[in-house]
Structure 1
Amino acid sequence: MIRAAYAEIPTGQVHYREWIPEKEARRPLLCLHPAPFSSAFFTTAMPALGEARRIIAPDYPGYGSSSPCGEAPSIEDYAASILQFLVCLELDGPVDVLGFHTGCLVGAEMQLQSVDAIGALVLVDVPYFLGEVQERMSAQAGAPLKLTTELESIASLWQSGIAVKAPLMGMDRAVELLAEQLRAHPNAHLAFKAAFTYPCEERFARLPGPAAIIATKSMLSDVTAEAARAAAASALFIKADDITRGVFEEGAPQIAARIDAALTQLEDQKGE
Protein backbone atom coordinates (compact mmCIF):
# COMPACT_ATOMS: atom_id res chain seq x y z
CA MET A 1 0.00 0.00 0.00
CA ILE A 2 1.25 3.50 -0.85
CA ARG A 3 0.26 6.35 1.44
CA ALA A 4 1.15 10.03 1.52
CA ALA A 5 1.92 12.26 4.50
CA TYR A 6 3.78 15.38 5.67
CA ALA A 7 6.61 15.91 8.13
CA GLU A 8 7.60 19.25 9.67
CA ILE A 9 11.25 20.40 9.50
CA PRO A 10 12.70 23.82 10.43
CA THR A 11 12.28 25.19 6.86
CA GLY A 12 8.71 23.99 6.40
CA GLN A 13 6.83 20.85 5.44
CA VAL A 14 8.22 17.83 3.60
CA HIS A 15 5.67 15.81 1.68
CA TYR A 16 6.45 12.14 1.21
CA ARG A 17 5.03 8.88 -0.08
CA GLU A 18 5.75 5.52 1.44
CA TRP A 19 5.15 1.87 0.70
CA ILE A 20 4.28 -0.32 3.68
CA PRO A 21 5.06 -4.02 3.10
CA GLU A 22 2.99 -6.84 4.56
CA LYS A 23 6.05 -7.97 6.52
CA GLU A 24 9.00 -5.70 7.27
CA ALA A 25 12.26 -7.61 7.71
CA ARG A 26 14.91 -5.26 6.33
CA ARG A 27 16.02 -1.66 6.80
CA PRO A 28 13.79 1.02 5.25
CA LEU A 29 14.88 2.30 1.83
CA LEU A 30 14.84 6.06 1.27
CA CYS A 31 14.33 6.92 -2.42
CA LEU A 32 15.64 10.24 -3.76
CA HIS A 33 14.00 11.37 -6.98
CA PRO A 34 15.53 13.05 -10.04
CA ALA A 35 14.81 16.72 -10.74
CA PRO A 36 12.39 18.21 -11.59
CA PHE A 37 10.03 15.44 -10.47
CA SER A 38 8.83 14.43 -7.00
CA SER A 39 8.29 11.26 -4.99
CA ALA A 40 5.60 10.38 -7.56
CA PHE A 41 8.52 9.29 -9.75
CA PHE A 42 8.90 6.11 -7.66
CA THR A 43 5.27 4.98 -7.32
CA THR A 44 5.52 2.46 -10.18
CA ALA A 45 8.67 0.90 -8.71
CA MET A 46 7.70 0.95 -5.02
CA PRO A 47 6.09 -2.53 -4.96
CA ALA A 48 9.17 -4.05 -6.65
CA LEU A 49 11.56 -2.19 -4.34
CA GLY A 50 9.50 -2.81 -1.22
CA GLU A 51 9.62 -6.54 -0.73
CA ALA A 52 10.06 -6.93 3.04
CA ARG A 53 11.11 -3.30 3.48
CA ARG A 54 9.43 0.06 3.96
CA ILE A 55 9.99 2.47 1.05
CA ILE A 56 10.11 6.18 1.90
CA ALA A 57 10.20 8.75 -0.91
CA PRO A 58 10.23 12.46 0.05
CA ASP A 59 9.72 15.45 -2.24
CA TYR A 60 12.76 17.74 -2.15
CA PRO A 61 12.08 21.20 -0.74
CA GLY A 62 10.42 23.23 -3.50
CA TYR A 63 9.32 20.14 -5.45
CA GLY A 64 6.09 18.17 -5.36
CA SER A 65 4.16 19.33 -2.31
CA SER A 66 7.15 20.22 -0.10
CA SER A 67 7.86 23.76 1.07
CA PRO A 68 10.86 25.54 -0.49
CA CYS A 69 14.01 25.93 1.62
CA GLY A 70 15.57 29.07 0.10
CA GLU A 71 16.07 31.04 -3.08
CA ALA A 72 19.11 29.11 -4.32
CA PRO A 73 19.45 25.82 -2.41
CA SER A 74 22.57 23.71 -2.86
CA ILE A 75 22.91 19.94 -2.87
CA GLU A 76 24.19 20.35 0.69
CA ASP A 77 20.93 22.15 1.58
CA TYR A 78 18.75 19.43 0.05
CA ALA A 79 20.74 16.75 1.88
CA ALA A 80 20.46 18.57 5.21
CA SER A 81 16.69 18.97 4.73
CA ILE A 82 16.17 15.27 4.02
CA LEU A 83 18.31 14.34 7.03
CA GLN A 84 16.08 16.58 9.16
CA PHE A 85 13.09 14.83 7.62
CA LEU A 86 14.48 11.44 8.68
CA VAL A 87 14.81 12.68 12.26
CA CYS A 88 11.11 13.63 12.19
CA LEU A 89 10.16 10.07 11.22
CA GLU A 90 11.71 8.74 14.48
CA LEU A 91 12.95 5.54 12.86
CA ASP A 92 14.56 2.81 14.93
CA GLY A 93 17.90 2.99 13.12
CA PRO A 94 19.65 3.96 9.89
CA VAL A 95 18.05 3.75 6.44
CA ASP A 96 19.46 2.52 3.18
CA VAL A 97 19.40 5.22 0.50
CA LEU A 98 18.66 4.95 -3.22
CA GLY A 99 19.42 7.90 -5.50
CA PHE A 100 18.68 8.34 -9.20
CA HIS A 101 20.19 11.16 -11.29
CA THR A 102 20.01 14.27 -9.04
CA GLY A 103 19.13 11.98 -6.16
CA CYS A 104 22.58 10.40 -6.43
CA LEU A 105 24.23 13.66 -5.43
CA VAL A 106 21.77 14.31 -2.61
CA GLY A 107 22.29 10.76 -1.32
CA ALA A 108 26.08 11.02 -1.49
CA GLU A 109 25.99 14.30 0.40
CA MET A 110 23.68 12.80 3.03
CA GLN A 111 26.21 10.04 3.68
CA LEU A 112 28.97 12.63 3.98
CA GLN A 113 26.95 14.78 6.39
CA SER A 114 25.68 11.96 8.61
CA VAL A 115 27.20 8.55 7.98
CA ASP A 116 25.47 7.11 11.05
CA ALA A 117 22.04 7.84 9.56
CA ILE A 118 22.80 5.87 6.37
CA GLY A 119 23.08 2.10 6.35
CA ALA A 120 24.12 1.72 2.71
CA LEU A 121 24.00 3.92 -0.37
CA VAL A 122 22.93 2.83 -3.86
CA LEU A 123 23.38 5.34 -6.69
CA VAL A 124 21.89 4.68 -10.13
CA ASP A 125 23.09 6.70 -13.16
CA VAL A 126 25.13 9.44 -11.52
CA PRO A 127 25.32 12.93 -13.13
CA TYR A 128 29.05 13.08 -12.35
CA PHE A 129 30.09 16.09 -14.44
CA LEU A 130 33.29 18.04 -13.98
CA GLY A 131 34.97 21.21 -15.25
CA GLU A 132 33.79 22.71 -18.52
CA VAL A 133 31.16 20.02 -19.03
CA GLN A 134 29.61 20.82 -15.66
CA GLU A 135 29.66 24.54 -16.45
CA ARG A 136 27.93 23.92 -19.77
CA MET A 137 25.31 21.70 -18.14
CA SER A 138 24.72 24.32 -15.46
CA ALA A 139 24.12 27.01 -18.08
CA GLN A 140 21.69 24.80 -20.00
CA ALA A 141 19.73 22.79 -17.43
CA GLY A 142 20.20 25.33 -14.65
CA ALA A 143 18.37 28.08 -16.52
CA PRO A 144 14.72 28.69 -15.60
CA LEU A 145 11.99 27.51 -17.97
CA LYS A 146 10.42 30.51 -19.68
CA LEU A 147 6.73 29.80 -20.14
CA THR A 148 4.61 32.19 -22.18
CA THR A 149 1.04 32.19 -23.45
CA GLU A 150 2.32 30.59 -26.66
CA LEU A 151 2.07 26.82 -27.02
CA GLU A 152 5.62 26.67 -28.38
CA SER A 153 7.06 27.49 -24.94
CA ILE A 154 6.03 24.05 -23.66
CA ALA A 155 6.85 22.16 -26.86
CA SER A 156 10.15 20.69 -25.62
CA LEU A 157 8.56 19.45 -22.38
CA TRP A 158 5.66 17.93 -24.28
CA GLN A 159 8.04 16.19 -26.68
CA SER A 160 10.19 14.65 -23.96
CA GLY A 161 7.42 14.06 -21.44
CA ILE A 162 4.53 12.91 -23.62
CA ALA A 163 5.59 12.16 -27.19
CA VAL A 164 8.56 10.06 -26.08
CA LYS A 165 7.27 8.56 -22.83
CA ALA A 166 3.57 7.93 -23.41
CA PRO A 167 4.18 5.05 -25.87
CA LEU A 168 6.43 3.42 -23.24
CA MET A 169 4.53 3.97 -19.97
CA GLY A 170 1.03 4.92 -21.07
CA MET A 171 -0.58 8.33 -21.46
CA ASP A 172 -1.92 8.57 -17.91
CA ARG A 173 1.49 7.96 -16.29
CA ALA A 174 3.28 10.26 -18.74
CA VAL A 175 0.81 13.07 -18.00
CA GLU A 176 1.20 12.48 -14.25
CA LEU A 177 4.98 12.91 -14.44
CA LEU A 178 4.74 15.92 -16.77
CA ALA A 179 2.39 17.55 -14.25
CA GLU A 180 5.01 17.01 -11.53
CA GLN A 181 7.55 18.87 -13.66
CA LEU A 182 5.20 21.77 -14.31
CA ARG A 183 4.04 22.20 -10.72
CA ALA A 184 7.61 23.16 -9.71
CA HIS A 185 7.49 26.17 -12.08
CA PRO A 186 9.02 28.77 -11.89
CA ASN A 187 11.73 27.17 -9.75
CA ALA A 188 11.98 23.74 -11.39
CA HIS A 189 15.56 24.51 -12.44
CA LEU A 190 16.95 25.04 -8.93
CA ALA A 191 17.90 21.41 -8.25
CA PHE A 192 19.63 21.27 -11.64
CA LYS A 193 21.58 24.41 -10.75
CA ALA A 194 22.56 22.81 -7.46
CA ALA A 195 23.57 19.55 -9.14
CA PHE A 196 25.72 21.19 -11.78
CA THR A 197 27.59 23.35 -9.27
CA TYR A 198 28.20 20.50 -6.81
CA PRO A 199 31.91 19.62 -6.31
CA CYS A 200 31.46 16.00 -7.42
CA GLU A 201 35.13 15.04 -7.65
CA GLU A 202 36.03 16.25 -4.17
CA ARG A 203 32.89 14.89 -2.49
CA PHE A 204 32.83 11.44 -4.11
CA ALA A 205 36.48 10.89 -3.22
CA ARG A 206 35.47 11.30 0.43
CA LEU A 207 32.46 8.97 0.49
CA PRO A 208 32.78 6.86 3.62
CA GLY A 209 30.71 3.95 2.26
CA PRO A 210 29.30 1.41 2.09
CA ALA A 211 28.04 2.29 -1.38
CA ALA A 212 27.09 0.68 -4.68
CA ILE A 213 27.06 2.58 -7.97
CA ILE A 214 24.93 1.14 -10.79
CA ALA A 215 25.24 2.17 -14.44
CA THR A 216 22.37 1.31 -16.76
CA LYS A 217 22.85 1.59 -20.52
CA SER A 218 22.19 5.31 -20.82
CA MET A 219 23.82 8.62 -21.66
CA LEU A 220 25.18 8.66 -18.09
CA SER A 221 26.88 5.25 -18.20
CA ASP A 222 30.40 6.61 -18.78
CA VAL A 223 30.22 9.36 -16.14
CA THR A 224 28.65 6.90 -13.70
CA ALA A 225 31.72 4.71 -14.15
CA GLU A 226 33.87 7.79 -13.45
CA ALA A 227 31.92 8.37 -10.24
CA ALA A 228 32.61 4.79 -9.20
CA ARG A 229 36.33 5.25 -9.87
CA ALA A 230 36.34 8.45 -7.80
CA ALA A 231 34.71 6.58 -4.92
CA ALA A 232 36.77 3.42 -5.45
CA ALA A 233 37.77 3.15 -1.80
CA SER A 234 34.16 2.73 -0.68
CA ALA A 235 32.06 1.79 -3.72
CA LEU A 236 30.96 -1.36 -5.49
CA PHE A 237 30.46 -0.77 -9.24
CA ILE A 238 27.72 -2.65 -11.11
CA LYS A 239 27.02 -2.50 -14.85
CA ALA A 240 23.40 -3.07 -15.83
CA ASP A 241 23.57 -2.90 -19.62
CA ASP A 242 20.37 -4.95 -19.91
CA ILE A 243 18.37 -1.96 -18.59
CA THR A 244 18.14 0.44 -21.52
CA ARG A 245 15.13 2.66 -20.78
CA GLY A 246 12.37 3.35 -18.27
CA VAL A 247 14.67 2.43 -15.40
CA PHE A 248 11.98 2.80 -12.72
CA GLU A 249 9.04 2.16 -15.02
CA GLU A 250 9.21 -0.82 -17.40
CA GLY A 251 12.67 -1.58 -16.00
CA ALA A 252 11.44 -1.55 -12.39
CA PRO A 253 11.66 -5.33 -11.77
CA GLN A 254 15.20 -5.50 -13.18
CA ILE A 255 16.56 -2.47 -11.35
CA ALA A 256 14.86 -3.55 -8.11
CA ALA A 257 16.62 -6.92 -8.35
CA ARG A 258 19.99 -5.20 -8.92
CA ILE A 259 19.42 -2.84 -6.00
CA ASP A 260 18.41 -5.69 -3.70
CA ALA A 261 21.46 -7.73 -4.71
CA ALA A 262 23.74 -4.72 -4.17
CA LEU A 263 22.34 -4.05 -0.71
CA THR A 264 22.72 -7.71 0.22
CA GLN A 265 26.34 -7.70 -0.96
CA LEU A 266 27.09 -4.52 0.97
CA GLU A 267 25.52 -6.00 4.11
CA ASP A 268 27.60 -9.17 3.70
CA GLN A 269 30.81 -7.16 3.21
CA LYS A 270 30.08 -5.07 6.31
CA GLY A 271 29.56 -8.23 8.33
CA GLU A 272 32.89 -9.79 7.32
Structure 2
Amino acid sequence: MARVKKSYVDGKYGQLHYRIAVPETPSALPPLYCLHQSPKCGMEFEALMGAIGDERIVVAPDYPGYGQSCKPPEEHLATVPAYAEACWQVADALGHDNLALFGNHTGSKVATEMAVMRPGHVGNIAMVSAALLTDEERAFFADYFTPIPLDDAGTRFTTMWQRIIERRGPGTTLEMLAQSMMMNLLGGEEYEWGHAAAFSFAEPFEEALKTLPNRITILNPADDLTDCTRRAIPLLKNGEVVECPQWGYNFMDVWPTEVAALLRSYL
Protein backbone atom coordinates (compact mmCIF):
# COMPACT_ATOMS: atom_id res chain seq x y z
CA MET A 1 0.00 0.00 0.00
CA ALA A 2 1.26 3.46 -0.90
CA ARG A 3 1.96 5.97 1.84
CA VAL A 4 -0.42 8.95 1.88
CA LYS A 5 1.10 12.28 2.92
CA LYS A 6 -0.53 15.63 3.69
CA SER A 7 0.44 19.19 2.86
CA TYR A 8 -0.82 22.68 2.00
CA VAL A 9 -0.64 25.17 -0.84
CA ASP A 10 -1.83 28.77 -0.90
CA GLY A 11 -5.32 29.33 -2.27
CA LYS A 12 -7.71 32.20 -2.86
CA TYR A 13 -9.10 32.23 0.67
CA GLY A 14 -6.07 30.97 2.55
CA GLN A 15 -4.42 27.57 2.67
CA LEU A 16 -5.67 24.57 0.72
CA HIS A 17 -5.02 21.19 2.28
CA TYR A 18 -4.42 18.08 0.21
CA ARG A 19 -3.39 14.44 0.49
CA ILE A 20 -0.92 12.89 -1.94
CA ALA A 21 0.46 9.44 -2.67
CA VAL A 22 3.50 9.14 -4.92
CA PRO A 23 4.78 5.80 -6.27
CA GLU A 24 8.39 4.85 -5.63
CA THR A 25 8.88 4.22 -9.34
CA PRO A 26 7.89 7.13 -11.61
CA SER A 27 4.78 6.48 -13.68
CA ALA A 28 3.80 7.68 -17.16
CA LEU A 29 0.15 7.78 -16.07
CA PRO A 30 -1.26 11.28 -15.45
CA PRO A 31 -1.84 12.21 -11.82
CA LEU A 32 -5.26 11.15 -10.56
CA TYR A 33 -7.17 13.82 -8.64
CA CYS A 34 -9.89 12.56 -6.30
CA LEU A 35 -12.69 15.04 -5.61
CA HIS A 36 -14.81 14.56 -2.50
CA GLN A 37 -18.53 14.69 -1.77
CA SER A 38 -20.21 17.15 0.60
CA PRO A 39 -19.69 17.66 3.47
CA LYS A 40 -16.64 15.37 3.52
CA CYS A 41 -13.02 15.99 2.53
CA GLY A 42 -10.10 14.21 0.88
CA MET A 43 -9.92 11.84 3.84
CA GLU A 44 -12.67 9.76 2.24
CA PHE A 45 -10.16 8.64 -0.41
CA GLU A 46 -7.30 7.61 1.89
CA ALA A 47 -7.86 3.84 1.63
CA LEU A 48 -8.25 4.07 -2.15
CA MET A 49 -5.13 6.23 -2.44
CA GLY A 50 -3.17 3.58 -0.61
CA ALA A 51 -4.41 0.95 -3.06
CA ILE A 52 -3.71 2.86 -6.26
CA GLY A 53 -0.90 5.21 -5.25
CA ASP A 54 1.81 2.63 -5.79
CA GLU A 55 1.36 2.94 -9.56
CA ARG A 56 0.54 6.62 -10.15
CA ILE A 57 0.43 9.94 -8.30
CA VAL A 58 -2.90 10.39 -6.53
CA VAL A 59 -4.01 13.70 -5.01
CA ALA A 60 -7.12 14.43 -2.93
CA PRO A 61 -7.65 18.15 -2.19
CA ASP A 62 -9.99 19.52 0.46
CA TYR A 63 -12.33 22.14 -1.02
CA PRO A 64 -12.33 25.58 0.66
CA GLY A 65 -14.20 25.24 3.93
CA TYR A 66 -13.84 21.46 4.22
CA GLY A 67 -11.29 19.22 5.88
CA GLN A 68 -8.32 21.41 6.75
CA SER A 69 -8.74 24.00 3.97
CA CYS A 70 -9.57 27.62 4.82
CA LYS A 71 -13.17 28.61 4.16
CA PRO A 72 -14.51 31.38 1.91
CA PRO A 73 -15.69 34.45 3.86
CA GLU A 74 -19.29 34.21 2.57
CA GLU A 75 -21.56 31.39 1.38
CA HIS A 76 -22.16 32.83 -2.09
CA LEU A 77 -18.44 32.26 -2.76
CA ALA A 78 -18.78 28.53 -2.06
CA THR A 79 -19.65 27.19 -5.52
CA VAL A 80 -18.76 24.24 -7.72
CA PRO A 81 -16.63 26.51 -9.98
CA ALA A 82 -14.84 27.81 -6.88
CA TYR A 83 -14.11 24.25 -5.75
CA ALA A 84 -12.84 23.40 -9.25
CA GLU A 85 -10.64 26.48 -9.27
CA ALA A 86 -9.20 25.50 -5.88
CA CYS A 87 -8.34 22.03 -7.17
CA TRP A 88 -6.55 23.57 -10.15
CA GLN A 89 -4.64 25.79 -7.70
CA VAL A 90 -3.40 22.63 -5.98
CA ALA A 91 -2.48 21.07 -9.33
CA ASP A 92 -0.64 24.22 -10.45
CA ALA A 93 1.33 24.36 -7.21
CA LEU A 94 2.36 20.73 -7.68
CA GLY A 95 3.25 21.21 -11.35
CA HIS A 96 0.51 18.88 -12.60
CA ASP A 97 -0.71 20.08 -16.00
CA ASN A 98 -2.65 17.06 -17.32
CA LEU A 99 -4.92 15.13 -14.97
CA ALA A 100 -7.27 12.19 -14.69
CA LEU A 101 -10.23 12.88 -12.41
CA PHE A 102 -12.38 10.81 -10.04
CA GLY A 103 -15.28 12.61 -8.38
CA ASN A 104 -17.71 11.43 -5.71
CA HIS A 105 -21.24 12.97 -5.69
CA THR A 106 -20.44 16.73 -5.40
CA GLY A 107 -17.03 15.79 -6.75
CA SER A 108 -18.67 14.56 -9.94
CA LYS A 109 -19.74 18.12 -10.69
CA VAL A 110 -16.37 19.51 -9.66
CA ALA A 111 -14.70 17.07 -12.07
CA THR A 112 -16.73 18.16 -15.10
CA GLU A 113 -16.21 21.82 -14.21
CA MET A 114 -12.44 21.29 -14.00
CA ALA A 115 -12.54 19.82 -17.51
CA VAL A 116 -14.65 22.73 -18.78
CA MET A 117 -12.26 25.26 -17.24
CA ARG A 118 -9.18 23.85 -18.94
CA PRO A 119 -9.97 22.01 -22.17
CA GLY A 120 -7.19 19.67 -23.19
CA HIS A 121 -5.73 19.42 -19.69
CA VAL A 122 -8.03 16.66 -18.39
CA GLY A 123 -8.01 13.12 -19.72
CA ASN A 124 -10.49 10.48 -18.64
CA ILE A 125 -13.04 11.18 -15.93
CA ALA A 126 -14.71 8.72 -13.57
CA MET A 127 -17.34 9.63 -11.03
CA VAL A 128 -19.60 8.11 -8.41
CA SER A 129 -23.24 8.95 -9.19
CA ALA A 130 -24.71 11.84 -11.14
CA ALA A 131 -27.17 14.11 -9.35
CA LEU A 132 -29.49 14.78 -12.27
CA LEU A 133 -32.46 15.83 -10.18
CA THR A 134 -36.00 16.87 -10.97
CA ASP A 135 -37.22 20.14 -9.46
CA GLU A 136 -39.13 18.17 -6.84
CA GLU A 137 -36.08 16.08 -5.93
CA ARG A 138 -33.90 19.17 -5.75
CA ALA A 139 -36.35 20.83 -3.39
CA PHE A 140 -36.51 17.69 -1.24
CA PHE A 141 -32.73 17.42 -0.92
CA ALA A 142 -32.35 21.16 -0.31
CA ASP A 143 -34.80 20.87 2.58
CA TYR A 144 -33.24 17.64 3.84
CA PHE A 145 -29.79 19.23 3.97
CA THR A 146 -30.84 22.54 5.51
CA PRO A 147 -28.31 23.29 8.28
CA ILE A 148 -29.48 22.17 11.71
CA PRO A 149 -28.95 24.86 14.38
CA LEU A 150 -26.88 24.02 17.41
CA ASP A 151 -28.76 23.33 20.63
CA ASP A 152 -28.09 21.93 24.07
CA ALA A 153 -29.62 18.60 23.09
CA GLY A 154 -27.07 18.08 20.30
CA THR A 155 -29.83 17.65 17.70
CA ARG A 156 -27.47 18.38 14.83
CA PHE A 157 -25.12 15.61 15.86
CA THR A 158 -27.71 12.98 16.68
CA THR A 159 -29.42 13.68 13.34
CA MET A 160 -26.10 13.44 11.49
CA TRP A 161 -25.30 10.13 13.16
CA GLN A 162 -28.75 8.69 12.53
CA ARG A 163 -28.51 9.56 8.84
CA ILE A 164 -25.06 7.98 8.59
CA ILE A 165 -26.36 4.81 10.25
CA GLU A 166 -29.43 4.69 7.97
CA ARG A 167 -27.20 4.83 4.89
CA ARG A 168 -24.67 2.30 6.14
CA GLY A 169 -23.40 0.37 3.12
CA PRO A 170 -22.52 -3.35 3.07
CA GLY A 171 -19.40 -4.15 5.05
CA THR A 172 -19.09 -0.72 6.67
CA THR A 173 -17.71 -0.78 10.20
CA LEU A 174 -18.58 1.56 13.04
CA GLU A 175 -15.07 2.98 12.84
CA MET A 176 -15.69 3.91 9.19
CA LEU A 177 -18.96 5.55 10.14
CA ALA A 178 -17.26 7.48 12.93
CA GLN A 179 -14.71 8.79 10.42
CA SER A 180 -17.59 9.88 8.17
CA MET A 181 -19.10 11.76 11.10
CA MET A 182 -15.78 13.40 11.87
CA MET A 183 -15.49 14.69 8.30
CA ASN A 184 -18.93 16.28 8.61
CA LEU A 185 -17.86 18.07 11.77
CA LEU A 186 -14.76 19.51 10.12
CA GLY A 187 -17.10 21.62 7.98
CA GLY A 188 -18.02 23.66 11.08
CA GLU A 189 -21.02 25.98 10.88
CA GLU A 190 -20.62 26.04 7.08
CA TYR A 191 -20.93 22.28 6.73
CA GLU A 192 -23.90 22.42 4.32
CA TRP A 193 -22.49 25.05 1.93
CA GLY A 194 -21.22 22.29 -0.36
CA HIS A 195 -24.62 20.64 -0.72
CA ALA A 196 -26.18 24.00 -1.63
CA ALA A 197 -23.41 24.57 -4.18
CA ALA A 198 -24.02 21.16 -5.76
CA PHE A 199 -27.82 21.52 -5.92
CA SER A 200 -27.54 24.91 -7.64
CA PHE A 201 -25.10 23.57 -10.25
CA ALA A 202 -27.63 21.68 -12.36
CA GLU A 203 -27.69 22.93 -15.94
CA PRO A 204 -23.90 23.35 -16.29
CA PHE A 205 -23.39 19.75 -15.12
CA GLU A 206 -25.94 18.38 -17.57
CA GLU A 207 -24.43 20.42 -20.39
CA ALA A 208 -20.96 19.14 -19.54
CA LEU A 209 -22.12 15.53 -19.74
CA LYS A 210 -23.59 16.25 -23.15
CA THR A 211 -20.65 18.14 -24.63
CA LEU A 212 -17.34 17.23 -22.99
CA PRO A 213 -15.16 15.13 -25.31
CA ASN A 214 -13.54 13.38 -22.34
CA ARG A 215 -14.39 9.75 -21.71
CA ILE A 216 -16.74 9.84 -18.72
CA THR A 217 -17.50 6.73 -16.66
CA ILE A 218 -20.20 6.97 -13.99
CA LEU A 219 -20.21 4.32 -11.27
CA ASN A 220 -23.73 3.74 -9.97
CA PRO A 221 -23.77 2.11 -6.52
CA ALA A 222 -26.85 1.52 -4.41
CA ASP A 223 -27.36 4.93 -2.78
CA ASP A 224 -29.75 7.88 -2.77
CA LEU A 225 -28.80 8.82 -6.33
CA THR A 226 -29.09 5.40 -8.01
CA ASP A 227 -32.21 6.14 -10.05
CA CYS A 228 -31.35 9.69 -11.06
CA THR A 229 -27.84 8.61 -12.11
CA ARG A 230 -29.40 6.50 -14.87
CA ARG A 231 -30.73 9.71 -16.41
CA ALA A 232 -27.17 10.33 -17.56
CA ILE A 233 -27.24 7.36 -19.96
CA PRO A 234 -28.81 9.20 -22.92
CA LEU A 235 -26.85 12.38 -22.19
CA LEU A 236 -23.28 11.12 -22.26
CA LYS A 237 -21.41 12.17 -25.37
CA ASN A 238 -18.55 9.79 -24.66
CA GLY A 239 -19.02 7.41 -21.78
CA GLU A 240 -21.19 4.96 -19.89
CA VAL A 241 -22.95 4.28 -16.63
CA VAL A 242 -21.55 1.22 -14.84
CA GLU A 243 -24.02 -0.40 -12.46
CA CYS A 244 -22.46 -1.34 -9.08
CA PRO A 245 -25.38 -2.70 -7.01
CA GLN A 246 -22.98 -4.60 -4.76
CA TRP A 247 -21.67 -1.32 -3.34
CA GLY A 248 -23.28 1.28 -1.11
CA TYR A 249 -22.08 4.25 0.89
CA ASN A 250 -18.48 3.98 2.17
CA PHE A 251 -17.63 1.39 -0.48
CA MET A 252 -14.20 2.93 -1.07
CA ASP A 253 -13.34 2.23 2.58
CA VAL A 254 -14.66 -1.34 2.46
CA TRP A 255 -13.28 -2.43 -0.93
CA PRO A 256 -10.42 -0.08 -1.88
CA THR A 257 -8.51 -2.76 -3.82
CA GLU A 258 -11.55 -3.69 -5.88
CA VAL A 259 -12.36 -0.03 -6.58
CA ALA A 260 -8.76 0.62 -7.61
CA ALA A 261 -8.90 -2.32 -10.01
CA LEU A 262 -12.10 -1.01 -11.58
CA LEU A 263 -10.71 2.51 -11.96
CA ARG A 264 -7.66 1.14 -13.77
CA SER A 265 -10.02 0.04 -16.54
CA TYR A 266 -11.29 3.56 -17.10
CA LEU A 267 -8.56 5.96 -15.99
Specify if TM > 0.5. yes
Query: How many positions carry a matched residue from both structures?
Result: 260
Aligned partner letter, 1:65: Q
SS at match of 2:90: helix
Residues 176 and 253, structure 2, Cα contact 8 Å, conserved in 1 = no
Shift of 1:139: 3.0
Among residues 239, 243, 247, which one is paired with 1:243 in the alignment? Answer: 247
Q: Does 1:259 align with 2:258?
A: no
Q: Does 1:12 align with 2:2?
A: no
Q: Does 1:204 align with 2:209?
A: yes
- Give the share of equivalent positions with the same residue, in percent: 25
Among residues 48, 51, 56, which one is paired with 1:45 in the alignment? Answer: 48
Structure 2, unmatched stretches of 5+, are none
Shift of 1:212: 1.5
Structure 1, unmatched stretches of 5+, are 264-272
Q: TM-score, structure 1 length as denominator?
A: 0.87
Among residues 114, 119, 124, which one is paired with 1:120 in the alignment? Answer: 124
Structure 2: how far apart are the matches of 1:16 and 1:89? 11
Structure 2: how far apart are the matches of 1:195 and 1:45? 24
SS at match of 2:252: coil
Q: Does 1:77 align with 2:82?
A: yes
Structure 2: how far apart are the matches of 1:166 and 1:234? 30
Q: Does 1:104 align with 2:84?
A: no
Structure 2: how far apart are the matches of 1:164 and 1:153? 17
What RMSD in Å do the two structures reach over aligned CA positions?
2.2
Aligned partner letter, 2:127: L
Change (3 A) 1:234 1:248: same
Aligned partner letter, 1:256: A
Among residues 72, 78, 91, which one is paired with 1:86 in the alignment? Answer: 91
Match of 1:133 in 2: 137
Aligned partner letter, 2:7: A
Point out 4+ residue stretches in structure 1 off by more than 6 angstroms. none
Match of 2:154 in 1: 151
Change (3 A) 1:224 1:7: same
Structure 1: how far apart are the matches of 2:73 and 2:154? 30
Q: TM-score, structure 2 length as denominator?
A: 0.88
Structure 2: how far apart are the matches of 1:101 and 1:38? 12
Residues 138 and 197, structure 1, Cα contact 8 Å, conserved in 2 = no
Structure 2: how far apart are the matches of 1:147 and 1:108? 35
Structure 2: how far apart are the matches of 1:14 and 1:227? 32
Change (3 A) 1:245 1:13: closer
Change (3 A) 1:112 1:152: same
Change (3 A) 1:70 1:224: farther
Match of 1:193 in 2: 196
Change (3 A) 1:237 1:171: closer
Shift of 1:74: 1.5
Match of 1:213 in 2: 218
Query: Which segment is superposed worse, 145-154 or 101-110?
Result: 145-154
Aligned partner letter, 1:10: K
Aligned partner letter, 1:247: F
Structure 2: how far apart are the matches of 1:171 and 1:221? 24
Shift of 1:169: 3.9
Query: Which segment is superposed worse, 147-156 or 168-177?
Result: 168-177
Shift of 1:190: 0.5
Query: Which segment is superposed worse, 62-71 or 202-211?
Result: 202-211
Structure 2: how far apart are the matches of 1:234 and 1:148? 48
Cα shift readout 1:93-120 (whole Å, capped 9, x = no counterpart): 4010000111101111111111222121
Residues 169 and 251, structure 2, Cα contact 8 Å, conserved in 1 = no
Map 1:49-68 to 2 at 5 A.
49-68=52-71
